[in-house]
């Protein structure tokens, strides 16, 4: 028997404009660069607004039944 584990995806260092359940991050004041390859802003991950957004997304994914979160672009955040 195969047991699946549902893992949610969050782009930690960049913002693609996607939001979950109406929570949107206003990245205009927290942008520190731009990723031309993916056409999206690189955000200041120490910003309180970004932290609030990421925590909101994590909680929503866990409430939806995901087993964990995969954070992408941690290297960009550094």
Q: Report mean pLDDT in 10-residue bins for the chain, 78 residues.
A: 89 73 70 87 87 90 94 71
Is the residue at 69 inside a domain?
yes
Is the residue at 1 inside a domain?
no
pLDDT of res. 17: 67
34 and 12 Cβ atoms separated by less than 8 Å: no
Q: For the chain, how many structural domains are there in total?
A: 1
pTM of the predicted structure, to 2 decimals: 0.76
Domain assignment of residue 63, given as a range: 7-77
Is the residue at 2 inside a domain?
no
pLDDT of res. 22: 58
Is the residue at 30 inside a domain?
yes
Is the residue at 36 inside a domain?
yes
Is the residue at 70 inside a domain?
yes
pLDDT of res. 25: 67
Closest C-alpha among 22, 28, 63, 61 to residue 71: 61
């Amino acid at each position: 028997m195969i047991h699946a584990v549902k893992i949610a995806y969050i782009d930690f260092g960049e913002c693609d404009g996607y939001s979950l359940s109406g929570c949107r991050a206003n990245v205009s004041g927290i942008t520190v660069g731009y990723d031309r390859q993916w056409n999206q802003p690189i955000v200041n991950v120490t910003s309180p607004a970004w932290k609030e957004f990421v925590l909101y997304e994590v909680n929503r994914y866990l409430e939806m039944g995901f087993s964990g979160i995969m954070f992408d672009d941690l290297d960009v955040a550094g």
